[in-house]
Structure 1
Amino acid sequence: MLLVRLYRVEDKEVMVMDGTQGFMPETDAVRLLASREFGVGADRVLVYCGKQHKQGFRAFAADGRENELTAADVLLLSRQQADIEVRLTDYFVSRMRQADAEKLAAAC
């Protein structure tokens, strides 16, 4: 099971997850997770990646595109107040892994 937290920032939902807990999502997995139809739903996804990344976090738009952390992201992360805690089942995490794997296989 994987734990994610949803925060409401003004009119947007931001999801924060720990990518060091066995799964570091990439573009397609984030797109699936952020989907309001097939996933949990979010406007933005912040993934903690430990010391592998300069800032410790990777930021993604809902469509899976990775972009830079914003000042609003940093402010949100400094508050540490969860609005909603969501536990992703192992089945859903396997679907996220599959989404990324299919993208990698298609690129080869």
Structure 2
Amino acid sequence: MLLVRLYQVEDKEVMVMDGMQGFMPEANAIRLLASRKSGVGADRVIVHAGPQGKQGFRAFSADGQETELTAEDCLLASRQQMDIEIRLTDSFVEKMRQADEERLAKAC
């Protein structure tokens, strides 16, 4: 099971997840996760990427495009209090992995 947190920031939903828990999502997985139809739903996803990543975090738009971290992202990532905690099932995490693997297969 993978834990993500969903925050309401003004009129947007921002999801924060820990990419250090054995799965670092890429564009297709983020698109699936952020989808309001087949995923959890979010306008933006921030992934804790550890010390190798830029400032330790990666930010994505709902369509899976990696974007620069904003000041608001940094403030949100540092929050201790969560708005909503969501537990992703292993089955859904596997769907996210498959979405990224499909993209890699098409690129080859």
Q: CA deviation at 1:94?
A: 0.3
Shift of 1:77: 1.7
1:68 aligned partner: 68
* Partner in structure 2 of residue 101 of structure 1: 101
* Distance apart, 1:54 and its partner CA: 2.6
Q: Which residue of 1 aligns with 2:30?
A: 30
Aligned partner of 2:7 in structure 1 is: 7
CA positional deviation for 1:79: 2.2
Separation of aligned partners in 2, 1:45 and 1:85: 14
Name the TM-score, length of structure 2 as normaliser.
Answer: 0.98
Distance 1:5 1:20 in 2: 15
Secondary structure of the equivalent of 1:52? coil
Question: Once the two structures are aligned, what percentage of the paired residues are identical?
Answer: 76
SS for the counterpart of 1:75 is: helix
Matches of 1:54 and 1:16, distance apart in 2: 15
Deviation of the 1:78 alpha carbon:
2.2
Task: Tell me which amino acid in the other structure corresponds to 1:42.
Answer: A
Structure 1 gaps of 5+ residues are: none
Aligned to 1:84: 84
Task: Name which of structure 1's ranges 69-78 and 87-96 shifts more when overlaid on structure 2.
Answer: 69-78
Task: Give the whole-Å Cα distance in 2 for the aligned partners of 1:80 and 1:62.
Answer: 23
1:76 CA drift (Å): 1.1
Residue 5 of structure 1 deviates from its aligned partner by 0.3
Alignment match, 1:57: 57
Alpha-carbon distance in structure 2 between the residues aligned to 1:52 and 1:95:
25
Runs of 4+ in 1 over 2 A off after TM superposition: none
TM-score, normalization: structure 1?
0.98
CA RMSD across the alignment: 0.7
Structure 2: unaligned runs, 5 residues or longer:
none
